[in-house]
Amino acid sequence: MNAEIEDFKTGWFGVQIGITDAEIPILIERLRRLQQTRDHFHLRSDFTGSGGVGDVEFYWEDSQSPQTLSIE
């Protein structure tokens, strides 16, 4: 898995995540578990190299909470 930060130079940023065929079922399973447990999980770097995305957290959120992103 790879992750990159994209600077839109507008104050907004994008996060690009590249995922392999082998990682897709693992992510799906973690999302299913998140739905059941209402807990959280991480995508985490080994923190080697010059820097970048170190951690991405997925957490359960109530559907009544204000939303800042959508799935497209």
The answer to whether position 50 is within a domain reads yes
Torsion of CA 70, 7, 59, 72, to 10 degrees: 20
Residue numbers of the domain that contains 49: 2-59
* pLDDT tens digit sequence for 41-71: 999 999 998 899 999 999 999 988 899 999 9
The answer to whether position 31 is within a domain reads yes
The answer to whether position 47 is within a domain reads yes
The answer to whether position 72 is within a domain reads no
Helix (H, G, I), strand (E, B) or coil at 38: coil
* pLDDT tens digit sequence for 7-50: 999 999 999 999 999 999 999 999 999 999 999 999 999 999 88
Q: Beta strands 13-18 and 2-7: pairing type?
A: antiparallel
Provide the domain count of the chain.
Answer: 1
Q: Which pair of tokens denotes residue 66?
A: 């204000």
Q: What is this structure's pTM?
A: 0.85
